[in-house]
Structure 1
Amino acid sequence: MMLPGLHAASAMVLAIAMFYGFINGRLRVEIVSLLTIGAIALLLYVLPMPGEDKYAGLELAFEGFGHYALVTICSLMILGRGLVVTGALDPAARSLARIWRYNKSLGLLFTLVVCLFMSMLINDTPVLVLMIPILAQMAMRGGMPASKTLIPVNAAILIGGMSTTIGTSTNLLVVSIAQDLGMRSLTVFHFTPIVLSAMILALPYLWLVMPKLLPDNTRTVSVESRRFLAKLRMAQESPVRGKTIEEVRGIAADDVTAWLPPGNRGHVGRRLLVEGTYDGLRETARKMSASLAPTWLVERINADSGRTGKDLMVAEMIVAPDSRLIGLTPSTAGFEGIAMLGIHHARQPLRDTRQHSPDATMMEGDVLLMMGMPEELRQFAQNEGLLQIEGSEEIARSGKALLAVAIMAGAVGLASLGLVPIAISALSGAILMFATGCVRFERVGRALSAQVIVLVAASIAIGKFILVSGAAAWLGGLLSSGLQYLPPAGVLAAIMVFVTMLTNFASNTAAAAVGTPIAFNIAQQLDMPAEPLVLAVLFGCNLCYATPVAYQTNMMILTEGDYTFADYLRSGIPLVLIMVAALSTSLVFWYGI
């Protein structure tokens, strides 16, 4: 076989260098991506392709930033962000928690299935972000250790994301590159049945086997969340008004203690004193149709937020020694523009004579749980001598949850029916998220990932360079010479394993960019239809279970589960083998090859 030409060899060297940069980890992913783009631009400027001028290389190197695939990926990130910040996913989280309390094994199975189907339409990362605190909380309440559930749940999310064209940015990238090469357009659920058939074989492994392969890394000393004293103001229609305190305690969240205010005997009226974590207090207030701050104040703050377009935040603030608030009670402090949701009493060096009540006087070291707009919270802390603790939490705009769900459903539905391309429907959905206030335009940076943007742009550039330089044809010929003796299922499995190895030790987007044009050339060499081979590349890019560096969600659970590299290998390699066998067989059956 002839040696590759100069440009083809250069394309392969650049691809290998990019993979090495990702594996090495000394440079950030976005730096490696930008260096790759710059190297392509410089090379083709100095040594233009035959028949091209020196500026054509610049267009090839930078066209990824304007590619419709990148626009689609960014739009889907914004749609996913809208579901998160409006709290649209919270009901699913509450349902999971109830099932876990009923039965651990059933809870894990239900969680795996729910995560799998959620990640078909929502980006993998928001789904995992939602699940991590739920699984950690279930572990603290006597459920399965988080180290035995996080990897299986993450794998289920990755399998679900693999099953639709919009499930992950990698899927969109593969489909977009394939369409640029001449393959027909695929609908959102085009290959979902293929993945679901493989999932039927993988699910028992995820549910029953994988947790047993993982260690119990439950820490002997768990970090307790700060508990706050608070006062619930019951709405007129509250279901607990008139009930006994014993009945109300059965309704409150598990970690919340409730008692009646002084002088109030017998049944619950307009007020109820409670103590618990912020999450527990918030959940209790939701169940009881109550508010943690005066209703009129909350309504005014919400109105100010809606008028100015600023998000509401919840922040913890420590009372400093020189604070004006020392010796005052929350009712006499005269808070304006912000609301106090609860207070954590600091332990005093001498005997603390204060009542165990949210109405007690404030002392040095107390922690206040405050709600308001960011600027108002900062100004309040500065004026009152408070130290704001890092890690403020954004309040979900729950009033827009149904609207966010409707926008997401409309964007996905239009593309699924083939009425408009996903690029148009996703962009339209993102615009509606901004127009309706589900996502603040000035906060769009929280939805978009700069790392993903430059990684996708670099992947498109290297994929295009590999194609036009002749590297794809040369590699395709090399691989097809070895694959021509295999049956179709073996060809598909070999391609899948090749791409899977690249994915688990480098980047799935880079593996997609390299693998897709190679798959097209192999199809031509072996006289096979290109579509199943392209799907083999797509599936291989998603089989990133075997190393922590394979995908960003793998890294997210590394610390949470206290995992080692060996934990991923031990539990992930069997799953990769199951999926490769099941997917390659399903592709042969589905396409009749």
Structure 2
Amino acid sequence: MFSIDAFLTLGVVCVVLAFLAFTRIAADVVLMGALAFLVISGILAPGDALVGFSNPGVLTIATLYVVAAGLKETGAIQWLAHRLLGQPRLLRQAQLRVLLPSAGLSAFMNNTTVVAMFIPAIQEWAARLRLPPSKLLLPLSYAAILGGTCTLIGTSTNLVVDGLLQSEKGIALSMFSLAWVGVPLVLVGGGFVYLFADRLLPNRQGVLEQLEQAREYAVEVLVDDKGPLVGKTIAGAGLRHLSHGYLADIERHGRLLTAVPPDTELLAGDILVFIGAPECARELRRIHGLRPAGGDVHKLDIAHHRRCLVEVVIGPDFAGLNQTVRQSRFRSRYQAVILSISRHGKRLPGKLGDIRLQVGDTLLLETSQDFVDQYRYRKDFLLVSGLNDSTPPDFRKAPVALAILAAMVAASASGVLSILEAALLAGGGMLVTRCVPASKARRYVDLSVLVVIAASFALGAAMTQTGAAAQIAQWLLLIDDLAPWAALALVYLMTVIFTELITNNAAAVLMFPIAVAVAEQLGVDFMPFVITIMFAASASFMTPLGYQTNLMVLGPGGYRFTDYLRLGAPLSLIVGATAVSLIPLVWKF
């Protein structure tokens, strides 16, 4: 009999899914609201609702943030990236150099961190080797996702499901339990990307020039009426051959002069509009007789050692989506000035204040170092790279950080310590050896992600206790004599759909009780179904929004949403078919 509590629980799940998929309300707010409703309505006891906050999987994820912080702050990933990328001459060689290291590193460290460190390295590397970044950055994201499926610590989703297994079934997976399926997936999926990425991904005309434009911004300066430049020509004033920019327009008495010849004389009060690289503003400040024209440009007077130029990609939780820069109150909200906005790899012209901001837009910001620390792992922005960073990594400690990571993997894989115990020791090791100061380590711990995961456990518990999960399982098994393999494929498909709509961790927690209920009603072992959730929740290739690394490469690669479908849809089918075929061979029904 379908109880009132089960009906209410299903209603809460549907509301949560709708809010996560179709609104911009932060995921942690939505999930905590659902948790509060379940407790206040009496569907769950407080102890059952809060069980996620003490789950070993959630605590392991929190600890691994500190380990990732040590690897990031010492530049260990950057150090490895530069050595592993090498100097290939052909695109095929370059793609192989991207796929193998990113998949290998993502098996043992946070794939978001790996991709964030590889993006600027690949941009610089592709420009130097004259290769299109659009052929390399999406394969980077896909390889990182696939690599994360090889080990238990490769992605937070694996740790979440392992935590559920421990608390619900008393079963703990080992470090390399998933490798029997994960490694073949890397080989099959990575092989597909290697063979078809060149054909399926765009190589739009001028992609290298587009990349340069994405790093350009406009600087307006005023010809001082008492300065030495009044009456001089553009060429005579030394403004014709700047190293980092060029003169685009002159605004004179309310009229805009474009494509001005070099013999044009400068008048007092002329506003000169320069387009250039971040260093252009610094170059113009050295020219006597020019001063900032006002508006946002006056911020460029900040001393070089105090200001920080940062490239970021707008994320799905950005508060000013679909608003103009002016409406979003960007400067007051984030204490940062937008110098340039690029979309699909092209710098957007016109007044910055009138441009409507969209997910995936790449912004060049002038801000303080605190901004980088504050938003490094927030979903308002996905950090791509900091320019003129005043705190470069301490590469001397990179070997120490890598040694701590290796020791953590070895201790866990050998069974000497559990993954949580090994992670706690590794996190402590990063702090003791000063690979990362405690103050910075705190900023790396993403509380919003941890709250989303822990609060999701309450929904899973409610679905189990009220019988809602069993009811959904019955609806899934309406087909008479459904084979376990077919049911497994159905669970995989449902998980993939949830992952593309909401966060992968929330999808895994919601599907866990459903998968267990399906196995019970079929009278088979639940392990193949649970393992299927682990792989399906990570298999997000078709949209830039389903997985954070996909969104991170959207702007820098100049991609459109259709590019993800073109390569990601067949990749999803291949990975899904491979996983559903292999999982029952390793974990028997």
State the TM-score, normalized to the length of structure 2.
0.70
**How far does residue 189 in structure 1 lie from its aligned partner after superposition?**
0.5
User: Is this contact kept in 2: 1:345–1:366, CA < 8 A?
Assistant: no
Q: Partner of 2:547 in structure 1?
A: 551
Residue 367 of structure 2 corresponds to 390
Q: How many equivalent pairs are there?
A: 443
Q: Is the 8 A contact 2:127 2:208 kept in 1?
A: no
Using the TM superposition, give the Cα deviation of residue 43 of structure 1 relative to its aligned residue in structure 2, in angstroms: 2.0
Residues in 2 aligned to 1:426 and 1:183: alpha-carbon distance in whole angstroms: 20
Aligned to 1:475: 472
8 A Cα contact 1:178 1:517, kept in partner = no
Distance in 1 (alpha carbons) for counterparts of 2:158 and 2:489 = 18
Comparing 530-539 with 176-185, which one deviates more in the overlay? 176-185
Is the CA contact 1:433–1:439 (under 8 Å) kept in the aligned structure 2?
A: yes
- The residue number in structure 2 matching 1:512 is 508
Distance in 2, Cα, partners of 1:97 & 1:117: 13
SS of the residue 2:436 aligns to: coil
Which residue of the partner structure matches residue 591 of structure 1? 587
Tell me how far 1:39 sits from its aligned partner. Answer: 2.0
Residue aligning to 2:13:
15
Please list, as runs of the form range in 1=range in 2, the aligned pairs for 1:155-554 lying within 5 A after superposition.
155-182=142-169, 184-216=171-203, 218=207, 220-221=209-210, 222-223=212-213, 345-346=283-284, 370=305, 390-392=367-369, 393=389, 394-482=391-479, 484-486=481-483, 488-554=484-550
Aligned 8 A contact 1:163 1:192 in 2:
yes
Structure 1 residues 64 and 483, CA gap change in structure 2 (3 angstroms): farther
Distance in 1, matches of 2:413 and 2:170, equals 18
Residue 400 and residue 484 in structure 1: after superposition, are their counterparts in 2 closer, same or farther (change >3 A)? farther
Shift in alpha-carbon separation, 1:472–1:225, aligned structure 2, 3 A: closer
Q: Displacement, 1:188?
A: 0.9
Deviation at 1:142, TM superposition (A): 4.2
CA shift for structure 1 position 224: 8.6
Q: 1:147 aligns with which of 108, 111, 134?
A: 134
Question: Structure 1's 159 and 367: CA in aligned 2 closer, same or farther, altered over 3 A?
Answer: same
SS, match of residue 346 in structure 1:
helix
Q: Residue 75 of structure 1 is aligned with which of 59, 63, 75?
A: 63
Runs of 5+ unmatched residues, structure 1: 50-56, 227-275, 278-342, 353-364, 374-387
Change (3 A) 1:183 1:584: farther
- 1:141-167 per-position Cα deviation (integer Å, ceiling 9, x unaligned): 244322222211101100111221111
Aligned partner letter, 2:111: D
How far 1:584 moved relative to its partner?
1.1
Q: Measure how far apart 1:193 and its partner are.
A: 1.9
Q: Which runs of 5+ in 2 are unaligned?
A: 217-242, 245-280, 291-299, 309-364, 370-388
Q: Check conservation: 2:544, 2:564, Cα contact below 8 A.
A: yes
Could you give the per-residue CA deviations for residues 289-323 of structure 1, whole angstroms, max 9, x where no partner exists?
xxxxxxxxxxxxxxxxxxxxxxxxxxxxxxxxxxx
**1:462 partner amino acid:** L
Alignment RMSD:
3.0
Q: Distance in 1 between matches of 2:366 and 2:555?
A: 22
Contact 1:173 1:509 in 2 (8 A): yes
Residues 589 and 63 of structure 1: CA distance in aligned 2, closer, same or farther (over 3 Å): closer
What code does the residue aligned with 1:122 have?
M
Structure 2 partner of 1:88: 76
Distance in 1, Cα, partners of 2:52 & 2:584: 33
DSSP-derived class of the 2:68 partner: helix
Structure 1 match to 2:383: none
Kept after mapping to 1: 8 A contact 2:307/2:366: no
Whether the 8 Å contact between 1:344 and 1:368 is mirrored in structure 2 is no
Per the TM alignment, residue 172 of structure 1 is displaced from its structure 2 partner at its CA by 0.7
Offset at residue 445 of structure 1 (A)? 3.5
Alignment TM-score, normalising by the size of structure 1: 0.69
Match of 2:258 in 1: none
Q: Which amino acid aligns with 2:537?
A: C
CA distance in 1, matches of 2:571, 2:366: 42
Amino acid at match of 1:174: V
In structure 1, the partner of 2:261 is none
Report the alpha carbon displacement of residue 459 of structure 1 after superposing the two structures with TM: 1.4
Output one character per residue of 1:45-68: Cα deviation in whole Å (capped at 9) or x when no partner. xxx56xxxxxxx222222322322
Alignment correspondent of 2:46? 58
Query: Is the contact made by 1:544 and 1:551 (CA closer than 8 Å) also made in structure 2?
Result: yes
Corresponding residue of 1:566:
562
- The answer to whether the 8 Å contact 1:508/1:541 transfers is yes
Query: Alpha-carbon deviation of 1:210?
Result: 2.7
One-letter code aligned to 2:27: V
Residues 117-163 of structure 1, C-alpha deviations (whole Å, 9 max, x = no match): 11011011100001111222233224432222221110110011122
For 2:132 and 2:98, how far apart are their aligned partners in 1? 14
Structure 1 CA distance for aligned equivalents of residues 114 and 583 of structure 2: 28
- State the identity %: 27
Alpha-carbon contact 2:98-2:136 (below 8 Å) kept: no
User: How far does the alpha carbon of each residue in 1:520-553 deviate from its partner, in whole angstroms, 9 at most, with x for none?
Assistant: 1111111222111111111110111111221222
Q: Distance in 2 between matches of 1:98 and 1:368?
A: 36
In structure 1, distance between residues paired with 2:416 and 2:119: 36
Q: Is the 8 A contact 1:8 1:466 kept in 2?
A: yes
Distance 1:553 1:484, change over 3 A: farther
Matched residue type, 1:76 = L
User: Aligned in 2, Cα 1:180/1:371: closer, same or farther, shift over 3 Å?
Assistant: same
1:306-351 CA-to-partner distances (Å, cap 9, x unmatched) read xxxxxxxxxxxxxxxxxxxxxxxxxxxxxxxxxxxxx954365579
SS of aligned partner of 2:86: helix
| Contact 2:78–2:118, Cα closer than 8 Å, also in 1 | no
- Do 1:483 and 1:491's aligned partners in 2 also have CA atoms closer than 8 Å? no
Letter in 1 for 2:102: C
Deviation at 1:557, TM superposition (A): 1.8
Do the aligned partners of 1:414 and 1:420 also contact (CA within 8 Å) in 2?
A: yes
Q: Give 3-state SS (helix, strand or coil) of 2:515's partner.
A: helix
Kept in 2, the 8 Å contact 1:96–1:110? The answer is yes
Corresponding residue number in structure 2 for 1:38: 36
C-alpha separation in 2, matches of 1:451 and 1:367: 33
Counterpart amino acid of residue 505 in structure 2: T
Task: Tell me whether 1:136 sits opposite 2:123 in the alignment.
Answer: yes
Q: Distance in 2 between matches of 1:450 and 1:127?
A: 20
The aligned amino acid for 1:69 is G
Distance in 1, Cα, partners of 2:440 & 2:163: 28
Give, as a single letter, the amino acid of the residue that structure 2 aligns with 1:191: L
CA spacing shift, 1:96–1:411, aligned 2, 3 Å:
closer
Partner AA of 2:447 in structure 1: A
Residue type of the alignment partner of 2:117: L
The CA distance in 1 between the partners of 2:302 and 2:283, in whole Å, is 7
Contact 1:178 1:516 in 2 (8 A): no
